[in-house]
């Protein structure tokens, strides 16, 4: 595609580590630049649960994720488009990445409706699913996914893919990979078609990333990496249930794909980042981007990150503890509130607890990212 050569380089490696494969980089988007390595918090319903855009900016969040399928079902991409796009809809002016909806539709396929029917069916042309809101039937195809993501007006869109489960069904993983490859080509074609409008106006179209599948199988992962990197994507993602969920396997996959991943494109491990150690391990291996629901979800469920490990705020030992969650943390919560106060808010189920806890866990992740960047 001719798009990127018309504009400044979208991805630039600014420094490479001398001791491992980690690298510092910068990605330029229509809503500003952000640095890599980067942790991106998921804002599924066009909101990072319990915190507002002002909180996110203070925490130092540089880019967040929204969910294509959820937003398409409610309030609908057309409404968001008519209201000026997802940035203005949610009051966030920095970069946004949208997932393709493939993971969500796949996760529906594991659930059943009240009638015992599977909530989603994978077809060759896309994924048919029942809405979790009202049971209505929908078909999401690669073209539809790309169209929705363009309408949302995000900065980075993802090719439509089929997520592969973390199991040893090789035949299924191969079929899902082949579908993902076909869908990647169709996604790219649709994206290029929709990008013309931007180019005619002298504007930069969103960036598009392709997704490598192949389950837990080395030959399939390598085949998928070769195929996806041969296409004209702006960035390369590693997808599948295994990534981030099964860390020993994730690291193995990254290691054997190392030589197949182009140096000059950002690398994104999808759904990875439930602990500091997971992030440290993949950054060492040259991964630039990651997202995970764990830091915010764990915060809401009473698990707070500290340098010494997670702290369970419901524990009675915090009832009279006047210390901050983490004495080394510079977040709003740690600067102003004690463990005793958070323990109290959590015990009486006050909504302020959710905000304060989320601020802390996200800031903990961003402080980790800052430290890793400095060490490169």
| Catalytic positions | 99, 291
Q: How far is the CB of 325 from Zn ion (least distance, A)?
A: 5
CA distance 128 to 112: 13
CA distance 161 to 138: 17
Q: How far is the CB of 329 from Zn ion (least distance, A)?
A: 3
Q: How far is the CB of 266 from Zn ion (least distance, A)?
A: 29
Cβ atoms of 180 and 161 closer than 8 Å: yes
Q: Which is nearer to Zn ion, 119 or 366 (CB)?
A: 366
Report residue 117 as tokens.
């029917």
The SS3 assignment for 10 reads coil
Q: How far is the CB of 304 from Zn ion (least distance, A)?
A: 8
CB contact set of 176 (below 8 Å; sequence gap of 6+): 122, 162, 163, 164, 213, 215
Q: Which is nearer to Zn ion, 270 or 294 (CB)?
A: 294
CA distance 109 to 97: 24
**CA 49 from centre of chain:** 15
Q: Give the DSSP H or E segment for 169.
A: none
Size of the chain, expressed as the number of residues it contains:
376
DSSP 205: P
Kindly list the residues in this chain that would bind Zn ion in the complex (CB under 5 A): 329, 331, 333-334, 360
Q: Which is nearer to Zn ion, 245 or 332 (CB)?
A: 332
Q: How far is the CB of 59 from Zn ion (least distance, A)?
A: 10
Q: Which is nearer to Zn ion, 266 or 295 (CB)?
A: 295
Q: Which is nearer to Zn ion, 93 or 336 (CB)?
A: 336
Question: Residues of 160-194 as b/e, b for ≥16 C-beta within 10 angstroms?
Answer: bbbbbbeeeeeeebbebbbbbbebbebbbebbbeb
């Amino acid at each position: 595609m001719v798009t990127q050569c018309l504009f400044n380089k979208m991805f630039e490696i600014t420094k490479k580590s001398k001791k491992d494969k980690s690298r510092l980089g910068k990605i330029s988007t229509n809503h500003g630049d952000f640095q890599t390595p980067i942790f991106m918090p998921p804002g599924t319903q066009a909101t990072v649960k319990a915190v507002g855009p002002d909180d996110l900016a203070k925490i130092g969040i540089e880019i967040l994720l929204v969910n294509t399928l959820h937003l398409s079902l409610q309030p609908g991409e057309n409404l968001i488009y008519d209201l000026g796009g997802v940035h203005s809809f949610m009051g966030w002016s920095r970069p946004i990445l949208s997932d393709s909806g493939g993971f969500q539709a796949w996760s529906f396929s594991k659930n059943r409706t009240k009638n015992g029917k599977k909530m989603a069916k994978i077809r060759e042309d896309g994924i048919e699913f029942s809405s979790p809101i009202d049971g209505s039937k929908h078909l999401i195809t690669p073209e539809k996914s790309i169209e929705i993501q363009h309408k949302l007006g995000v900065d980075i869109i993802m090719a439509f893919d089929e997520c592969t489960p973390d199991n040893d069904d090789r035949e299924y993983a191969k079929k899902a990979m082949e579908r993902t490859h076909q869908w990647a080509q169709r996604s790219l074609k649709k994206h290029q078609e929709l990008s013309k409008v931007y180019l005619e106006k002298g504007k930069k179209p969103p960036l598009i990333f392709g997704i490598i599948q192949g389950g837990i199988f080395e030959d399939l992962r390598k085949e998928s990496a070769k195929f996806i990197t041969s296409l004209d994507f702006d960035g390369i993602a590693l997808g599948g249930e295994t990534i981030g969920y099964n860390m020993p396997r994730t690291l193995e996959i990254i290691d054997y794909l190392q030589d197949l991943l182009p140096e000059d494109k950002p690398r994104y491990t999808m759904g990875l980042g439930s602990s500091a150690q997971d992030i440290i391990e993949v950054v060492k291996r040259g991964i630039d981007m990651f997202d995970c629901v764990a830091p915010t979800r764990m915060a809401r469920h009473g698990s707070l990150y500290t340098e010494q490990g997670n702290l369970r705020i419901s524990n009675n030992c915090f009832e009279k503890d006047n210390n901050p969650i983490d004495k080394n943390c510079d977040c709003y919560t740690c600067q102003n509130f004690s463990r005793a106060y958070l323990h109290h808010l959590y015990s009486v189920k006050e909504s302020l607890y959710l905000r304060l806890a989320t601020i802390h866990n996200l800031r903990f992740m961003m402080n980790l990212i800052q430290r890793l960047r400095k060490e490169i």
